[in-house]
Structure 1
Amino acid sequence: MLAAIGTLAIIERHALVVELEQESTVLHRLASQRADQHDAHLTALSAIAVAAEGERHDLILDVAATISRFYPRIDEVQVVPLDPQGETVGTEPLSAANAGTIRSAANASDGSIALLPHPAKPHHYVMVKRSPNSDMARYGLMLGIDAAKLLGEAGSFWARNGVALTLSLPDGHPLFSRGTLPDSLRFSKALGSASQPLRLETGMEIGLADLIPLVKTGLTLIAVALAYIAVLTALRQRARARAAMEQARLSALDSRLAHASRVNALGEMASGLTHELTQPLTAILAQAQAGRRMLARSDMVALAPVLDDVVTQARRASAILERFRNWSRPQQAPASAFDLRDALRTVEALLAPQAALHGVRLAFDLPENPAPRRGRSGRNGTGGVQPRAQCHRRHRGRR
């Protein structure tokens, strides 16, 4: 917020400086144009004075009245003969001292217009020109100009508090001032009139209220707060979008990991199936080969047990596949009793080939119909005669 207020103060100061320069330029141009008109009036008066040859005073007064009516800032016109004995013609009575001042300025003129402070009126200056403008001059022409009206109607800007302006003669004599010129922010330039290079100076006193206007400051703070909320919302939206993208990435990674787990599980299942099915398939192959040899010898009596064993091993392989299929399914069935004799028969079938290869005899004590009983021996409350298994080495007679 402080940064926003500081930025607003800088912007406001720059805007005030620009406004002062623009208004000062407009006022300088207006005053210069008005000053240039004074030269034309003096030229017209000079022509009339020379033509009248000191006799047509009424004509001079009519022209002077017309000038004052259309140009209120020119409130005095005087035609002063350079001969002290001549009659002065003007819109107002002129004292002998003031007439002498005009004669002196006209006689001292080198052809240019003389600018003097009005001897009797504050905020006024006079323009003095000899007529004709040569060494044969006979009159001194004077225009009295109100400096305040020269700068009047410049606009409402110059009525503000803290805005000041002054108009002074080229030698520095002050003619008109409004307010006090500050030392910091000032504009100074001579008027563009060749005959009246009056010095125009303007300035502005900038206070804290100007730099931090209440309404603009409030609106700026509201705008900054809204912008902060918008940026914060955008950042949060961006964070949510990033979180969603990250969640999608993690979900995809989880999917790939789950797929890899399933592939691994399938590999383990395939390995287990291979291991489990190797025994019955090997037994089936061996019994089939034995059966083929018995058929070749026409030994039908020995062939029947071989075929029975082939059927047994095939059923065993089918049971293995059934167990794997049941293992892969959801297990929702409740726990139930299981006959251990089936497990022992499966063990006997698995170990029989290896036992025969190493000369080991397997003996299983399996009851025909075990009676159920309650006790610690059964987890589900089932029990009975416990099956037992023994093995003997034939060549040593040991268990």
Structure 2
Amino acid sequence: MTKLKILENKTITDVPYFKATGIHSGVKRKRKDLCIIYSEKEAVAAAAFTQNKFAAAPVVVSKDHIQSNNTQAIVINSGNANACTGDEGIDNAYSMAKTTADCLGLSSKEVLVASTGIIGLPLPMAIINAGIKNACTQISSTGGNCAAEAIMTTDTFTKKITVEFDLDGKKILLSGIAKGSGMIHPNMATMLSFIVSNVNISKDMLSIALKESIDDSYNMISVDGDTSTNDMVIGMANKTANNTIIDSKDDNYIKFKKALDFLNKELAKLIAKDGEGATKLIEVSLNNAKTLKDAKLCAKSVISSSLVKSAFFGEDANWGRIVCSLGYSNAEFSPEKIDVSFQNKIGNIQLFKDGKEVSFDEELAKNILSEEHINIIIDLKDGEHCATAWGCDLSFDYVKINASYRS
């Protein structure tokens, strides 16, 4: 059993040989908008990218550069997505990598690029390149918090977590920062996540672990049903922990994967909690499905429903919207078996049993729904497979924020 310790007030630069910074370059009016993450030692990297066909220029460039056997830096700008910007956008993303590489003594292939912000605007490259040069002079072993701030767009708080565990008697640190608030939907979203570790692992095994972990974390959240042009998750490991290298699915791989799963799920929940205009974090626990695919289809369908989200904002115990969203999920299940309950620190209440409504205490239901965290528990009673999804309510403020996003 992996003994996992959460390290409070620690961030990516507490991982040995990782440095970072976040600065205001001028892309945004006031807030930090440029981030660099840098490993002083050679590192392997793995990534997953948006499924949107309008993949942004930094996605195209990072898909190219991720093939390198050594990745030592990531450069990220916020405030401008560099998406739908044609060949000029691709050239600009490559330029970001080259400028960063030149400053840090790397090759361009050893730098990955990410952007987030408004779609369709050309990057102000004079500002960006000057900002990169400035940022590279400020990279430090205490810059993790600034880095987490610099990747934010409509986020209301930074998203970060650091954990520690042992492999072969060696201390392994795993730390991540993320951003995401709107345009969030399964298959990732306008979300970026950057994970660093000192673990000794092969590039192939890091890639396998990251992609499997994403399926159960970032790909199980939904704020608004939109999948972005820019989303990506990048993991870097600089191998400085000196544990026996993980190059197969052995016990050490399993321990590492459990830690990675925990970290990614926690970051995913923070993204869901910070949905634009959100007042509640909603968790769907889908139990006893015939297959894992069925479990995930059901959980995703419920958490993605605008009607379910609206009901939770209104604190309305409308179980009908939940079972309706199950019905169009394309999952296999028996409607006459299904149970639905709500649960949180206030208590537990069942609203639906064996495919029918049951009498329930409306006042207790209202009290449960008035809390910031509500768990929808659904039992299909059809098998042994389970899945969890996370999202938020849909409020008036979501419309206000997105009605004037460009202005």
Given the two structures, how large is their TM-score scaled by the length of structure 1?
0.19
Higher helix share: 1
Given the two structures, how large is their TM-score scaled by the length of structure 2?
0.18
Higher strand share: 2
Largest Rg, 1 or 2:
1
Tell me which of the two structures has the higher relative contact order, counting C-alpha pairs closer than 8 angstroms and 6 or more residues apart.
Answer: 2
